[in-house]
Amino acid sequence: MSHLDDMEKRRFVTVLTMTVALGLFACAGVRGTGDLGIVIERASGHALVVETTTNRRLARVGGLGDLSHASVVYSRDERYAFVFGRDGGLTKVDLLRGRVVRRVVQAGNAIGGAISQDGSLVAVSNYEPGGVRIFSAATLEPVAEIPAVYGEGQRSKVVGLVDAPGQQFVFTLYDADEIWVADVRTPSTPRIRKFKHIGRLPYDALITPDGRYYIAGLFGEDGMALLDLWNLDAGVRRILQDYGRGQQKLPVYKMPHLEGWAMVGDYAFMPAVGQHAVLVVDRRNWRQVARIPVHGQPVFVMGRPDGREVWVNFAHPRNDTVQVIDATGRKVVKTLKPGKAVMHMEFTPRGEAVWLSVRDADKVQIYDTATYERLASLPADKPSGIFLTARAHKIGL
């Protein structure tokens, strides 16, 4: 009898211990980060921490500075967001605790940033002073600075900063008409390779999802500049000679973001600058093969993760609309009206839903990509960029 009593006691202690432990986990809010993300509230210097499994807000984080042109990258464990503000602020946010870990104002005017292949370094591209500054992702302590010096000691604005395989950062010098590749395997002394005379006023850039091609758009002339990162000795070559800002007759209300290109199989779906069209380009030779008429001037042209569809939003004054293009048939199959000023779109990692920031409605609208039905609507103060943590594992995002 006493033996059974001892067994019952041990069983009771085990159950009690497990119950207490589970209770502690619940109190501590222990959870994963794979379904989290950040929504920028551009007017107020705040960011929302959101969850895509149940479509809800988890926290609101303030003190992030000027977010009028903000972007976000993530630590490789998806716990920390690095927020780049227009005022030169670099802020590390803990998603699980919903608070700022550290903030530094590292420049007078910044345009974005990137995180290195191994996740140890965060780089920021700056307008003032022109150049790139590199920080420890763990502490935000400065590691290196790359002044964007050209000509007779002039400094250029830096745009189009992305991470690349081989522990590299790639960026363009707007004023100098150059692309630089920085090898940061020795972080304190980056090795720089410069490519000059790439075309006039490179205003933005992207890197293909496989990390091979870096493409800069040109504001000062038509065409684009392509650099094959697998073969740097080949130098920069010009592609899409009829694409760009230079010869456009229509007014351009907003230059499209090149990182919003949709890469679907062998084709790139890209916004036509100043036109009501999406262009289809064969990635094997970088030649245009089709032109799809759309509602307005495209800003983001984004591929659903499975590649079956391409979603498009538009510049003012037609920015209350989102259109869906069938990637195979290359035609618009659905038109949605989420509200005025649709600023950004972000697909959930497997593409079953898409999140849309609707600035003038102060809402984030969430749609089912199979039925096009609205799943949820979340309040947000002038939302703009939406950045989900799946970006942590994608090159150039």
Residue 380 has pLDDT above 70, yes or no: yes
Same domain, 241 and 211: yes
Q: Is residue 17 part of a domain?
A: no
**Total residues found in the chain within this entry:** 397
Same domain, 99 and 231: yes
Total domains in the chain come to 2
Write out pLDDT tens, residues 99-115: 999 999 999 999 999 99
Q: Cis before residue 298, ω within 30 degrees of 0?
A: no
CB 335, CB 351: distance < 8 Å: no
Q: Is residue 38 part of a domain?
A: no
Unique residue bearing structure tokens 């002044």: 147
Same domain, 238 and 263: no
Same domain, 324 and 363: yes
Same domain, 271 and 151: no
Q: What are phi and psi of 22, to 5 degrees?
A: -65, -35
Specify the pLDDT at position 13: 46
Write out pLDDT tens, residues 77-93: 999 999 999 999 999 99
Residue 327 has pLDDT above 90, yes or no: yes
The pTM is what? Answer: 0.90
Same domain, 282 and 304: yes
Specify the pLDDT at position 11: 56
Same domain, 196 and 325: no
Same domain, 240 and 103: yes
Same domain, 78 and 197: yes
DSSP one-letter code for 76: T
Write out pLDDT tens, residues 155-185: 999 999 999 999 999 999 999 999 999 999 9
Specify the pLDDT at position 253: 63
Q: Is residue 137 part of a domain?
A: yes
Q: Give me the CATH number covering residue 266.
A: 2.130.10.10
Specify the pLDDT at position 64: 97
Q: Is residue 266 part of a domain?
A: yes
Show which of 228, 247, 266 is a domain's final residue: 247
Any idea which of 95-109, 261-275, 379-393 has the lowest mean pLDDT?
Answer: 261-275
| pLDDT band of 248, cuts 50, 70, 90 | low
Per the DSSP assignment, residues forming a β-bridge with 272 are none
Q: Is residue 2 part of a domain?
A: no
| pLDDT band of 242, cuts 50, 70, 90 | confident
CB 90, CB 84: distance < 8 Å: yes
Q: Is residue 20 part of a domain?
A: no
Show which of 247, 278, 299 is a domain's final residue: 247
Which value, in Å, is the radius of gyration of the alpha carbons in the chain?
23
Residue 119 has pLDDT above 50, yes or no: yes
Same domain, 184 and 293: no
Same domain, 341 and 376: yes
In the chain, % of residues over pLDDT 70: 90
| Long-range contact pairs involving 372-379 (C-beta distance under 8 Å, separation at least 24) | 372/324, 372/334, 372/336, 374/338, 375/55, 376/55, 376/56, 378/39, 378/48, 378/50, 378/55, 378/56, 378/57, 379/57
Q: Is residue 51 part of a domain?
A: no
Give buried/exposed letters for 324-350 (b at 16+ CB in 10 A, else e): bbebeebebeeebebbebbbbbbbbee
Q: Choose among 186, 184, 192, 89: nearest CA to 148.
A: 192
Q: Choose among 78, 82, 76: nearest CA to 140.
A: 82
Show which of 230, 247, 264 is a domain's final residue: 247
CB 316, CB 253: distance < 8 Å: yes
| pLDDT band of 19, cuts 50, 70, 90 | very low
Distance CA 199, CA 176 (A): 9
Q: What are phi and psi of 223, to 5 degrees?
A: 105, 170
Q: What are phi and psi of 30, to 5 degrees?
A: -65, 130
Same domain, 75 and 117: yes
Domain membership of residue 118 as a residue range? 56-247
Q: Is residue 8 part of a domain?
A: no
Residue 117 has pLDDT above 90, yes or no: yes
